[in-house]
Amino acid sequence: MNEKKSAREGDLVLPGDYLGVIEEYMPGNGVKEENGELYAVIAGRVRIDPEKMEISVEPITDTPPLPKVNDVVIGRVIEVKSQSVIVQLIKIEGRENDREIATSKLAGIHVSQVKPGYVEDLSKEFKIGDIIRARVISNEKSPIQLSTKGPDLGVIYALCTRCRTPLVRRGDRLVCPRCGNVETRKLSSLYRKVTV
């Protein structure tokens, strides 16, 4: 008599836990087969794919996702210095279902990575509070380094610095529909086309 119970979707398992038999499921990631029986090789949550009849174990990690090189991220400008901009990351594009990035995660954009050519005054390209779309160019050191070179990268949402009204794009400038203030930014072609 086999008293062992098969694992169910969502069960938490530890390495070595019995999951079922090969007649029930194909072993997927995090699962090994031994004499026709399936066991977890990592700690995590059981996932059963009913179409493929495959059982796998999804690892549980406490570390929020770290952006990879070439990931496109959305962030908020929290500081504009003379040589760099400090950005608080909000999310990684295309990984919306993942847990949010730790809110403490900061990134930097060096003045040389803002746009092609020479940037004389960073405060004409970014302002505190701007929402930006940028590409990760290095994640080895802290803060993560970003680039806004590229037509679809740069500021995607900005408020008027005088009256905090969302600015409207007019050509390569931003205009305040309330007070008429005109501002400049390193604009993305997706300005106000991306929901955050």
Binding residues for Zn ion, rule: CB under 5 A, are 160, 162-163, 165, 176, 178-179, 181
**Would you give the DSSP letter of residue 173?**
E
In whole angstroms, the minimum distance from the beta carbon of 194 to Zn ion comes to 22
Whether residue 166 contacts residue 159, with contact meaning beta carbons closer than 8 Å, is answered with yes
- Cis ω before 65 (30° cut-off from 0): no
In whole angstroms, the minimum distance from the beta carbon of 122 to Zn ion comes to 21
In whole angstroms, the minimum distance from the beta carbon of 183 to Zn ion comes to 9
Q: Is 111 helix (H, G, I), strand (E, B) or coil?
A: helix
Centre a 10 Å sphere on the Cβ of residue 4 and count the other Cβ atoms it contains: 12
* C-alpha span between 154 and 141 (Å, rounded): 22
**Residue with Cβ nearer Zn ion (99 or 164):** 164
**Residue with Cβ nearer Zn ion (110 or 178):** 178
* C-alpha span between 145 and 69 (Å, rounded): 9
In whole angstroms, the minimum distance from the beta carbon of 160 to Zn ion comes to 3
**Residue with Cβ nearer Zn ion (10 or 180):** 180
In whole angstroms, the minimum distance from the beta carbon of 10 to Zn ion comes to 50
**Residue with Cβ nearer Zn ion (72 or 155):** 155
* C-alpha span between 65 and 48 (Å, rounded): 23
Residue 140, both tokens? 């080895």
Residue 126 neighbours by CB under 8 Å, 6+ apart? 77, 80, 85, 109, 114, 132, 155, 185, 186
**Residue with Cβ nearer Zn ion (123 or 189):** 123
Indicate if the alpha-carbon torsion angle 156, 157, 162, 168 is positive or negative. Answer: positive
In whole angstroms, the minimum distance from the beta carbon of 159 to Zn ion comes to 8
**Residue with Cβ nearer Zn ion (7 or 77):** 77
